Chain A
């Protein structure tokens, strides 16, 4: 079962439908987390959401508890949330991307996606990862073609993945494939 934690976003149910194509999904509000179901699930997804990672301490706790034990996937805020737990700084961007379709490319050789592959993706983020960022087993695997901002990371050892863009958006052309690959890896 996949457990999706909804940070009260207006895109979470698109994520739910996208993951439902692969497995049973349970989704709950950030304020009403079902601990039993969470414990039983094999995959945890942190949804997009407003604000910044420091607004969601419970999600950070859950991340720390299950890192290395379950597959964890973060999308947008969820992506930032995981990096924040890995001591990254999440900062404001000069240019803000809301409802913006842009191109990302795979920049790392070790990625589950082939290097130099490009994807058209939908973006909704005010904040970004401050770089340089270093954490054990984490690698930035995709970057924005335009601004070079970090767009995806992988930690294959601990089975942790994140997208700064929105694979569930209608602006992302191959969202389902991206999710499928992550789930299969």
Chain B
């Protein structure tokens, strides 16, 4: 292990070389900066056959240094499969169900830059990633089709089959992107707390996710569900947004439901009486919008395994609807295109079983020369189809702008 000299953020020759190389790398936003993970010595591509051995990988592992960590993502489908739900008859692009990487080098960008690496000599091969936009963005669902699903779900709510359900819209274009370029551009305007980027040989992901699904240290676990979105304009402020959410019955009800659902998901793995709301209903500000957030914490039961935590918390309830199982079944019957990474989770598991995972929303997946951006908004009883359809567009907007 070797600590490199600390460089200033600008003109860092190591980072410059890394960015312009063909190396796979991952960037993850942290509170006061970014962590970059690279020099992957292991890459685990998840499928239904190896997922159990993936969870067992952490048994008997000892956390000695910061690189003792696996970082990557679970796609939506594998998370559904884990809780016993099969998805049939969807259009697929055959993207990976999930991938985790073992880094040998971690670069921390704070006020200064520090590099921790198990590799003695760093070699770089120049590689130029160009951005090419080959077709305009197209939505995969027309308003008419959206309205049809919306009305069907409204009926299901009346019958009590679901209380809230989120319909996904996908925007797609033909393009190649330079993910680093896109990511740093995005961070200038919208450095959301769960932002991340993955650059691998055959795909990339750029995300400004605002939502923390799991923050686990020792036996403490926190989740911070978001439910409630308000579009920004010149007149709005954090205060007025708070008033809006508080006085808006529809937003409040939607939020309450998610809070009780997340309390439930934590309770499944936590000690009785330990699940508490830490901070109830506060507003976070983003470039184009405001979000309504609550943070909930608990203490994990002794014999709970990583797999139990994943199965209980994922796919994250706030982007699915409620109750989770029935709503997932309804969604999977109606959505005709695979969600891929959307509403999956990105994050890491350390060898001491500490973890951090987000909800993959507000993200671009570039694969096989296509970029896709997904967004979802909720149907509850008082929703209007036009408004929710447009909300999906607002959510995707800061990502769509990167292609301009």
Contacts and interface: CB of A to CB of B under 8 A. Distances in A.
Given A21-B272, A124-B163, A14 B381 contact: no
A12 B326 contact: no
Given A98-B380, A99-B254, A126-B157, A21 B273 contact: yes
Contacts of A50: 160-163, 323, 326-327
Interface string A1-21: 000000011111110110011
Contacts of B327: 50
Contacts of B268: 13
A10 B317 contact: yes
8 contacts: A9-B264, A49-B323, A50-B327, A51-B161, A99-B256, A99-B260, A126-B160, A168-B260
A127 B264 CA distance: 22
B322 A17 contact: no
A52 interface: yes
A13 to B, nearest CB: 4
Contacts of A170: 256, 259-260, 263, 277
Given A10-B323, A14-B260, A96 B254 contact: no
Interface in A103-143: 122, 124-127
A164 interface: no
A122 B275 contact: no
A144 interface: no
Contacts of B338: none
B216 interface: no
Given A10-B323, A11-B264, A122-B256, A52 B159 contact: yes
Nearest to A18: B272
A13 B323 contact: no
Contacts of A98: 157, 163-164, 253, 257, 380-381
Given A10-B317, A14-B267, A98-B164, 20 more contacts: A8-B323, A10-B325, A11-B260, A14-B263, A16-B267, A17-B267, A20-B272, A51-B160, A51-B161, A52-B160, A96-B381, A98-B257, A99-B252, A99-B255, A99-B380, A126-B158, A127-B160, A168-B260, A169-B260, A170-B256
A135 to B, nearest CB: 22
Interface in B298-343: 317, 322-327
Contacts of B256: 99-101, 122, 169-171
Interface residues of B, number: 35
A20 B325 CA distance: 24
Nearest to B298: A17
Interface in A7-42: 8-14, 16-17, 20-21, 25
B325 A8 contact: yes
A92 interface: yes
Chain A interface size, under 10 / 10 to 19 / 20 to 34 / 35 or more: 20 to 34
Contacts of A17: 267, 272-273, 275
A104 B171 CA distance: 46
B180 interface: no
A13 B260 contact: no
B211 interface: no
Most A-side CB within 10 Å, residue of B160, B162, B380: B160
Interface string A159-183: 0000000101111000000000000
A92 B158 contact: yes
A168 B322 CA distance: 16
Interface in B154-170: 157-164
Most A-side CB within 10 Å, residue of B161, B164, B260, B327: B260
Nearest to B326: A50
Contacts of B161: 50-51
A51 B159 CA distance: 7
Contacts of A122: 256, 260
A31 to B, nearest CB: 10
A95 B162 CA distance: 15
Most A-side CB within 10 Å, residue of B162, B163, B252, B275: B163
Interface string A33-70: 00000000000000001111000000000000000000
Contacts of A8: 323, 325-326
Contact of A12 (B164, B254, B264): B264
A21 B327 CA distance: 30
Interface in B7-21: none
A9 to B, nearest CB: 5
B265 interface: yes
Contacts of B273: 17, 20-21
Contacts of B263: 13-14, 170
A179 to B, nearest CB: 13
B261 interface: yes
